[in-house]
Structure 1
Amino acid sequence: MDLVVFSLTICALTILIFSLFCAVVSGIVMQRRIHNDLRHQVEAHEPIRAEAGFPNETGFSLSTPNFLPLVKLSWRIVYPDYLPTRIRLSADKRLLEEIIPRKRCKSDTVIRAFTVSDVLGFCRYSWRQTQEVPCMVLPRTNSIKPLPLLRSLTAEDGIPNPSGDPDGDRMEIRRYVPGDSVRNIMWKVYARNRQLNVRLAEKSVFHSRRTVAYLLGSRNDEAAAAVARIALESGVLGEDWAFAADGAEQACESLPVALEAVARSRAIGSAHAYGLDHFLDSAIANAGAHCIVFAAAELTPWLGPLKNTIARYSGQFSLVLATDGLNDIPWPGLWQRLLLTDGRNRSKDEKNGGSRAELLNLLTDLSQLVESTLIVDRKTGLSFDHKLRKV
């Protein structure tokens, strides 16, 4: 019996030592090979462009480690985000990388965590490798329907509107008050009835040819970023527009640069600073211009700074709020709690969606400060007004 136990121990130690030798030697060889391949392909490798929620090939591939038996190679991307990575075997026996991002991101480098292990799982050799390649992941648009034409309103002679400046036609008539100019008095009316009336310019606005839009970042802003992407790609901002987002250094006036700003607006490390004030000061020469703001339909830290911006800025604002569904889910009953069905099977979009009561509180808080409000549900693709009526 002792000889049997001794023989089994020797066999187990032999297998363990052999697995350790294969994993370490293969790991060192693969690490040097991958390092040399990435160093020689710095300029030849194309930038990584992907869309969240779908399988995307990155163009990164490696040869299979077949110089030692019982060894397998795996890796995953850990920066700019922990991206779920799938490895496929091509027809020419190469390992192809495929990622399925969950959220948008933008970076100039990609870090992968490689692991060489034996097939029995006894030993593994791991390291991280950095590749200097641009990586941009755009938000998933789902079934968002085409948005109405988002155009800016600027105070000038055009459409009658109480929010505009008195730059329209002289059509407003009222009684004279101290301080009115004498040239505005209607002298013919005064000659008939001895009443002093004045004719003033009507407050009006017009559809500006230049549209300005901004994306506010927050924790659950993926739906807002998707709506901003749809607005940019479908051309609903018009021909002449300026766009920026939290994390962008300057205003964007072309589609590729604007899409990069949308992807970069999601902070990987520390949160981006509130940048709407800087954007309005630098990108808009006309102080009375109209600004369209994309944001998440939830109570977020940008609510207070946005109120201050609206109070300080002389122009008008329109809000486009986005969400991943309105979750009016009742409290589960006793049998549901006993059967462990209290929402464990809810989808991720439902967990990220906001409640109808919270959204109504947000709309009540902001509807008095902005010109108009549009709510877009990325899950269903429907749009609603400030009273949650379908548009």
Structure 2
Amino acid sequence: MERLMSETNFPAESITIAEAEAMQLFSNLSTKYRQSILANMIQKLAGLFPLTLQGSITLFMAAGALRIFGYGSMDLVVFSLAICALAILIFCLFCSVISGVLVQRSVYRTLGSTDTTAKVINVEAGFPNETGFKLPVLNYFPLVKLSWRITFPDYIETRVRVSTSSELVEEIIPKKRCLAENVVRQFIVSDVLGFCRYSWWQDQPIRFKALPRTNTVKPLPLLRSLTAEDGIPNPSGDPEGDRMEIRPYAPGDSIRNIMWKVFARSRQLNVRLAEKSIFHSKRTVAYLLSSNNDEAAAAVARVALEAAVLGEDWAFGADGSELPCETLAESLDAIARSRAISPPFSYGLDNFLTAAAGQSGAHCIVFAAAEFAPWLANLKKTIGRHSGHFSLVLATDGFEDPQSFSIWHRLFFQEPGSDSSPLERASPKHDLINLLTELGQLVESTLVVDRKTGLSFDQTLRKV
């Protein structure tokens, strides 16, 4: 594809900047996709080789010692040790391969006899969860152990424990949210000495949904949008009522609105403006923007949906979802799906506003991570294009204050580490303030939520 694109001569005036960026993005995605396929193929081919690195080194050393010292120098001690090492290696290879074939058939029977179409794995990130997958304890040959792990979806820690009924029970701890229609496991049957192993990948068609961890996030205040009193905006401008609002004159005000009689008495320019006819609407639209560190934003959006703070009539959307969601179950699925497992999702707020709000200029609540992400430039363009107002809810896993220590302090003392997980990234206060300053002038209101403590802050990072 890259060669075809490089050899094709396009006229300079026929390709726009957006098309060039799209072509470059497609080229990068195709390169990453080919690299991932190549890495998976190499990994699978390596899994078919029955000897581990330790087993291969033992085989070469025993064979070399047997050839050079055992047969060449007729050293009986080296000869006996090399023969014993090769015999143990062959015995471990036989036990691992035979046990692996028997376990593989048992896994096929277990997955085939279970009605997987009626099962759904619903878990929450950060907590141990049982998936219901069980296998009998491996007791075909001695010195052989069985283990497996989930390779798809990613960011899942797999544990295997023995139950009271002598069964191997699968227990997982998801690190991030996800939504998938199948689960891929890698099974490994190996000997206790680490010489040989028999591994394979098994695909199970089952719906897997992991929701973000909410921690101690408190329910947000009732979020409602402001629309026209009659629900239909005026095509010529914002809905306006009687001229009741009075304020001092400002450059740009029309001279028709100046109160000339008051000016004749007090020599102060005041203007009378039309009162805007607005009310708290029952309709609210909300959207979740995805990025690399958006687990906290997804958790806040989940709390807002489950606590019903969006009102009675609402619509929710997220990156990766084509249509607006109007039920809690669909919205939670959209939150779990918003984290792309392989290629990243495209920016979809514009399409969501067109489908959910149309041309009514509804008030939109945007959930996003408290970081400078690729969606920032697109969000600015969306705010400039649409006539409705926007409210921004930023979420983070704590605030990070960069501290500078002297060279002697760093030499003799260990810097304090973070108590949170490496996947829970705290936002530096300096970057967060710059982000709030940049977006605070474009949106109607801004709220910062700390998932680590459950507290909320305003635009100046004061607790609310």
1:80 maps to what in 2? 153
Deviates more, 1:26-35 or 1:319-328: 26-35
Per the alignment, residue 295 of structure 2 pairs with 222
**Residue type of the partner of 1:49?**
N
2:392 is equivalent to residue 312 of structure 1? no
TM-score by length of 2: 0.75
> In structure 2, do the counterparts of structure 1 residues 200 and 384 end up closer, same or farther at CA, with 3 Å as the change threshold?
closer
Q: 1:129 to 1:210 in 2, by over 3 A?
A: same
Residue of 40, 45, 52 corresponding to 2:125: 52
The structural deviation recorded for 1:52 is: 0.9
Counterpart residue identity of residue 392, structure 2: L
Letter aligned with residue 119 of structure 2:
E
C-alpha distance in structure 2 between counterparts of 1:212 and 1:140, whole Å: 23
| Structure 1 residues 131-170: aligned runs within 5 Å | 131-156=204-229, 165-170=238-243
CA contact (8 A) 2:293 2:424 kept: no
**Equivalent-residue separation in structure 1 for 2:347 and 2:244 (angstroms):** 42
> Structure 1 residues 339, 106: closer, same or farther in 2, change over 3 A?
farther
Indicate which of 105, 116, 122 corresponds to 2:178: 105
CA apart distance, 1:203: 1.8
Give the conservation status (yes or no) of the 8 Å contact 2:117–2:205: no
Map of 1:291 onto structure 2: 364
Query: Could you say what secondary structure the match of 1:330 adopts?
Result: coil
Unaligned runs of 5+ in 1: 159-163, 190-196
Q: Residue type of the partner of 2:368?
A: A
Deviation at 1:336, TM superposition (A): 4.0
The CA deviation at 1:321 is 0.3
* Structure with more of its chain in helix, by fraction: 2
* Distance (Å, rounded) in 1 between the aligned partners of 2:444 and 2:216: 27
- How far 1:6 sits from its partner (Å)? 2.0
Q: Does 1:279 align with 2:349?
A: no
RMSD of aligned residue pairs (Cα, Å): 2.7
Cα distance between partner residues in 1 of 2:176 and 2:212: 6
Q: Which residue of 2 aligns with 1:127?
A: 200
Q: Which moved more, 1:34-43 or 1:351-360?
A: 34-43
Higher strand share: 1
Instruction: For residue 143 of structure 1, give the secondary structure of its aligned residue in structure 2.
Output: coil
Could you tell me whether the CA contact under 8 Å between 1:154 and 1:205 is conserved in 2? yes
Change (3 A) 1:90 1:300: same
Mapped to 2, the partners of 1:238 and 1:70 lie a distance apart of 61
Q: Which amino acid aligns with 2:400?
A: N
The match for 1:13 among 76, 86, 95 is 86
After superposition, the Cα gap between the structure-2 partners of 1:22 and 1:198, relative to the gap in structure 1 and judged at 3 Å, is closer
Q: How far off is 1:45 after superposition?
A: 5.8
Work out the percentage of aligned pairs sharing the same amino acid.
63
Change in CA separation of 1:214 and 1:151 when aligned onto 2, cut-off 3 Å: same
| Preserved contact between residue 26 and residue 116 of structure 1 (Cα < 8 Å) | yes
Letter matched to residue 388 of structure 2: G
TM-score, reference length from structure 1: 0.89
> Do the aligned partners of residues 390 and 78 (structure 1) sit closer, same or farther apart at CA in structure 2, a change above 3 Å counting?
same
1:76-117, CA deviations, whole angstroms, 9 ceiling, x for partnerless residues?
Answer: 001011411110111111100000111111100100011000
Match of 2:405 among 332, 337, 340: 332
5 Å-filtered alignment, 1:20-31, equals 20-31=93-104
What is the CA–CA distance in structure 1 between the aligned matches of 2:432 and 2:423, rounded to whole Å?
15
